[in-house]
Amino acid sequence: MGDDRVILVSSVGEPNCYWLPWRRGSVYLGQLGNKYEYFFTARMNGCGMIIGGTAAQPFVAHANLDSDRLTDALTRVRARGLSVKEENEAVAAEYALIYEQFYGNLAAKLIHDGLLSGARLKVLTPQEYLIEGKAGFAAVFGINTGGAWKFYGNLAKQTRLIWEG
């Protein structure tokens, strides 16, 4: 948290963006400022993204749930002997609940710890892009224009505004 880890967007010039990585079972946090005009995070295919704070200095978190609860849910559903369609729907419902609880609880902890406020909070969960959007992954990026950040998600092959300070 707080380091200015950057990636090079072009092969010419100085680095000009914030980068937030991921790792299985980990949470990466950062407070953005006005040093760079772009923000990127690693592609998400089960991760959650939490964005909050002010337009000038948003707080971002990229989290990955590594939980036996997902494996246990899959095992329970498969033991029910459902058709493939029914099994897929049941697994999606089980996973949705687990994702919502985990990422919602993480956001609540970040608020409790004073890193986030409840105002202007976006919690992007795998439920939104994997299950509801029927996409294999999501990509999140931010653009700082005139000192105000906006974040976009490429969800289910569509790019849309997901957070504005």
Task: Look at residue 4 and tell me if it is in a domain.
Answer: no
Task: Look at residue 9 and tell me if it is in a domain.
Answer: no
Q: Say how far apart CA 28 and CA 120 lie, in whole Å.
A: 20
> For residue 51, how many other CB atoms are within 10 A of its CB?
27
Is the pLDDT reported for residue 102 higher than 70? yes
Name the pairing type of β-strands 58-64 and 138-145: unpaired
Task: Look at residue 5 and tell me if it is in a domain.
Answer: no
Give the count of domains, the chain.
1
Average pLDDT over residues 95-124: 91
Average pLDDT over residues 106-118: 91
72 — pLDDT class (breaks 50, 70, 90): very high
Question: Are the CB atoms for 17 and 39 separated by under 8 Å?
Answer: yes
**Within its chain, how far is the Cα of 92 from the centroid?**
18
Task: Look at residue 113 and tell me if it is in a domain.
Answer: yes
Residue partners of 134: CB distance under 8 A and separation at least 6: 156
Residues of the chain by 3-state class (helix, strand, coil), percent to 5: 30, 35, 40
pLDDT score for 10: 54
